[in-house]
Structure 1
Amino acid sequence: MKPQVSGGPIRATIVGSLPKPAWLAVPNILQAPWKVPTEDLPEALADATRLSVESQVAAGLDVVTDGEQRRRHYIWGFLDGMAAVDTVNLVLKPTRGQRFREEAPVARLVGEPEWTGPRLVEHLRAVRALTKRPVKVTLPGPMTIVDSLRDEVGRHSTADLAMIFADLLNREAKALADAGAAVVQFDEPCFNIYLDQAREWGVVALERAIAGVGTTTGVHICYGYGGAEVSDWKAANRDWSQYEQSLALVARTDIDQVSVETAAVGVDIGVIELLRGKDVLLGLVDVGKEAVETPEVIARGLRRALDHVAPQRLFACTDCGLVLRSREAAAAKMRALAEGAAIVNRELADG
C-alpha cells in the first residue's frame, strides 16, 4: 500500500535527479566529474544516495528516487559499461535538433550494443534499504539515447538503432520491476523536438521498451534542463504546441504515467486533457531558477489541473531534474511540492 504523505489522493514527487554534494562532484554542471578518488567512490556514492533519500523523505515526497547520485549523467548511467559504447572518449555531435547549441559531447557507439546485465538494480536496492516509500527509477528513452550517441559503425539506421536500445532498455526495466521498483520512468525530451520521428518510430520504440514490464511505467517529456542555454531558449521561444502532438502520441500507448513541464514555459495546463486515464506528473517547479515556489503557487497549478485529471491520478512534480540547483533550493522546492499538494488535499477532504 502506497503511503499518502501529502495527506490525500494528490501526491508529490520529482522527475528524478537532485544536486550532488560538492564533495562528490563539481556542482551546477551536467556530466560533472567525480571529485572522489576511485577507491573511495563506492562509499561516497552510498553516502550521497542516503542524503538524497533523506532530503526527499524530510520534504514529504510520496514517491522517491535515488536522485541519480550514482550517475554522472542520466543517459550515461545506463550506457556505462554496456558493450560497444564508449562513454569516456567523447566526441561532439549535433543533438536535440540544435535547439540549444550546435554540438554537444556524446558517447561513441563502436560496435554492436549489448546488455551485459542490470545497470541500475544495485542503485534501486540501495534506496529500498533506506525507505519504505515507493521508489521510482529513471532510464533514458530510446530516442533520446540514439540522439546522444555518435554511431561510428554505421550498421543501422537511426530508427533501427532506437529499436535495438528499446529492447536493451526493456531488459533493464524488467530487472528493475523484479527488484521492486514501484515505477520505471523513461526520459524522452526528444519527443518534443523530433515530432515527425516520434510519430514515425519514437513511440513504437517506447512501446517496445515498456512491453511486459511488471510495474508502473512512465515517460518524462520536457523542454530541457535548467541550464543557461536551455533557459535562454525557453525565454525566447513563443511556440509551445509540441505537447499537443507528443502527448497525443503517448496517450495511445500503454504507458501509465506522463511527466510534463509547465512552470518554466508557456504551456497551458489544459493540454493534459489529452492524457485522460493516465497519471499526470505536473511540472510546477522551475528547475532553472534558485527562487523557490511557494506552496500556494503549487496549489494553484494543481487546482487548475483538477479540471482535466482525477486527483488520484495527479502528482505535484518538478519540470525536470533538479541537478543544476543548489541543495538548499532543491530541498525547499521539494517541500513546496509536498505542502502545495497537502493544501489541495485538505480542500478536497473539506468538499
Structure 2
Amino acid sequence: MNAQTAPFRADVVGSLLRPDSIRKARLARQTGEIDTRELRRVEDDAIRHAVESQCQCGLQVVTDGEFRRAWWHFDFFEGLEGVEGYEADQGIQFNGVQTKSRSVKVTNKLGFGEHPMLEDFKYLASVSGSATPKMTIPSPSVLHFRSGRKAVSAEVYPDIDDFFDDLALVYQQAIKAFYEAGCRYLQLDDTVWAYLCSDEQRALVVERGEDPDQLANAYARTINKALEQKPDDLVVGMHVCRGNFRSTWISEGGYEPVAELLFGSVNIDAYFLEYDTDRAGDFAPLRFIKPGHQKAVLGLVTSKSGDLEDPEAIKARIFEAARFVPLDQLCLSTQCGFASTEEGNSLTEAEQQAKLALVVQVARDVWGE
C-alpha cells in the first residue's frame, strides 16, 4: 500500500457536520419556500466546499459529508425497491438521548433500481479533483438487525434465508452500479458487529427470539455473497460503529466476540474500527486481521468532542496496535463520522477541521506518507 491507494494512511470515515446553509435550505424545502432543485443547488455548493476543506487538511480521500441525507442508513434503504420508511413508535435509544422516530421495513421483494445516490456519487466525483471520492452506504446487515424478523414481511419472505439471499443480490447490483458510476472506494457502515460484542445488545436479540451467533453467521454469509462479483480494483471498507448520535453511543465491548468471524472470514479490504475510548476494548482482536492485503484503520481520534488529542499519545497507541498486526497493515482515521444524522455531534466545524488535520499529521509522522 502507498499513499495513492485506498485505504489511505490518513483516511476519513464519512459524515461531516451540516453547515447552516443546508439546515436552512432543508427547512425552507419542508415549508415550500424553495423547490427540490434549489435545495440540491445549495447542497452542491456545500459539498464542493466540504471537499475543498478535506483537501486543505491534507487528505487524499474525500466524501460528500453525507450532506444530502438526514440519516446515515435510512435514506439509502428507502431508495431500495421493496423497502418503506415509516414513523416508528419511538426513536433509537442512545446513551441518555433518543433519535427521531424513524425506521424502515421490508414490504415487498427487494430490488436495486435507479437509486438516487448514484447521482450523488457522480457529483462528488466531479468535484473531487485529484482526491479519491469515497462513497458510504449502510451494510446489508443493518437492514435486518435493528428490528429483526418483524421488519421483514413474512408474506413476502416466509423463509428468512430467502430474504438474506435477495439482500445479497441487491448489494451485488448496488456495488456494480456504483462501480459503473466511477466509484473505486466504497464503505459499508455497520453498527451490527459492534452490537454483537455488547452483552446488553445480545440479550435484546435473545429476548426477541433470535440467536445472536446465528445472526452473525447469516450476516457474514450475506456480506460475502454481496462481494462475490466485486471488481479487483474496487476497495471495499467497513466501518464498525458503536453508535454515533449527538456525541452519544449505544454499545460497549471489545471486538473479541466477533473478531475471528468478522476479520478472519468476511472478505472486506479494510476495517474502520473505533478505538477512541475504553469501550472498544484492547487491540488483541486485531490478531485475526488477515496477513497481507487486509487493513485495519484505527479510529483513535474521536469525532464526539472537539478536544484535540495529543499526537504523541495517538502514535503510541498505533505502535501498541502494531504488536498484533504489522504496522504496514494499519492506517488512521477518526473513530466515526461527525454527523451520522443531520443533527451532528457536539463540536464546531473548526474543531472538526482540526481533527482531520491531526489525522493527517500523525499519519505522516508514523508512515512518512
TM-score tier, shorter chain, comes to 0.7 to 0.9
TM-score between both structures, scaled by the size of structure 1: 0.82
Partners of 1:90 and 1:108 within 8 A in 2: no
Question: Where in structure 2 are there 5+ consecutive unaligned residues?
Answer: 197-211
Structure 1 match to 2:238: 219
- Provide closer, same or farther for how the CA distance between residues 51 and 340 of structure 1 changes in structure 2, counting only shifts above 3 A: same
1:177 equivalent to 2:196? Answer no
Are 2:318 and 1:294 equivalent residues in the alignment?
Answer: no
Bigger Cα displacement from structure 2, 177-186 vs 52-61: 177-186
Query: SS where residue 23 of structure 1 aligns?
Result: helix
TM-superposed CA distance for 1:164, in Å, is 2.4
- Contact 2:298/2:335 (<8 A) preserved: yes
Structure 1 position 61, deviation (Å) = 1.6
Of the structure 1 ranges 97-106 and 137-146, higher mean CA displacement relative to structure 2 is found in 97-106
Alpha-carbon separation, structure 1, partners of 2:320 and 2:138? 30
CA distance in 2, matches of 1:71, 1:320: 16
Matches within 5 A, 1:113-124: 113-124=110-121
Give the superposition deviation at 1:103.
9.7
Q: Which runs of 5+ in 1 are unaligned?
A: 27-31
Q: Give the distance between the partners of 1:158 and 1:95, measured in 2 at CA.
A: 24
Query: Does the CA contact (< 8 Å) of 1:65 and 1:137 recur in 2?
Result: yes
> 1:190: how far off?
0.9
Residue number in structure 2 paired with 1:151: 151
Once residues 122 and 297 of structure 2 are traced to their aligned partners in structure 1, the CA distance between those partners, rounded to angstroms, is: 24
TM-score of the superposition, structure 2-length normalised? 0.79
Aligned AA (2:125) = R
The structure-2 alpha-carbon separation of the partners of 1:158 and 1:148, relative to structure 1 and needing over 3 Å to count, comes to farther
Question: Counterpart in 1 of 2:367?
Answer: 345
Matches within 5 A, 1:252-271: 252-266=265-279, 267-271=281-285
Residues 292 and 161 of structure 1: CA distance in aligned 2, closer, same or farther (over 3 Å):
farther
**Change over 3 Å in CA distance of 1:91–1:33 after alignment to 2:** farther
Alignment partners' CA distance in 1, 2:97 and 2:285: 24
3-state DSSP class of the match of 1:331?
helix
Deviation at 1:148, TM superposition (A): 4.8
Determine the structure 2 residue equivalent to 1:273.
287
What CA deviation, in whole Å up to 9, does each residue of 1:89-126 have, x standing for no partner?
Answer: 42236868999869952024333332112443222222
Cα distance in 2 between the residues matched to 1:311 and 1:10 = 13
Change (3 A) 1:101 1:67: closer
1:338 maps to amino acid: V
Could you tell me how far apart the structure 1 residues matched to 2:52 and 2:21 are?
A: 18
Q: Any idea what SS the aligned residue of 1:12 has?
A: coil
1:65 to 63, 77, 98: 63
* SS state at 2:12 partner: coil
Q: Contact 1:96 / 1:190 at 8 angstroms: preserved in 2? A: no
Which one of the candidate residues 11, 18, 39 is aligned to 1:20?
18
**For residues 198 and 185 of structure 1, what CA distance do their matches in structure 2 show?**
21
1:132 positional shift? 1.7
Identity %: 24
User: Residues 221-261 of structure 1: CA distance to partner in whole angstroms, max 9, x if unpaired?
Assistant: 1211153552xx56xx5xx23x1132211221221111111
Residue of structure 2 in register with 1:187 after alignment = 189
Q: Provide the C-alpha distance between the structure 2 equivalents of 1:55 and 1:102, rounded to a whole number of angstroms.
A: 29
The aligned length equals: 331
Partner of 1:308: 324
Following superposition, the deviation at residue 151 of structure 1 comes to 3.1
Deviation, 1:338, is 0.4
Code of the residue aligned with 2:176 in structure 1: it is K
The structure-2 alpha-carbon separation of the partners of 1:148 and 1:290, relative to structure 1 and needing over 3 Å to count, comes to same
Mapped partners of 1:158, 1:99: distance in 2? 33
For the aligned residue pairs, the C-alpha RMSD in angstroms reads 3.1
Structure 2 counterpart of 1:328, from 339, 350, 353: 350
Paired AA for residue 199 in structure 1:
A
Q: Deviations over 1:267-303 (max 9, x none)?
A: 2123222213211111111122121223333322222
Aligned to 1:201: 218
CA distance in 2, matches of 1:327, 1:336: 14
Instruction: For 2:276 and 2:330, locate their aligned partners in 1 and report how far apart those are by CA, in whole Å.
Output: 16
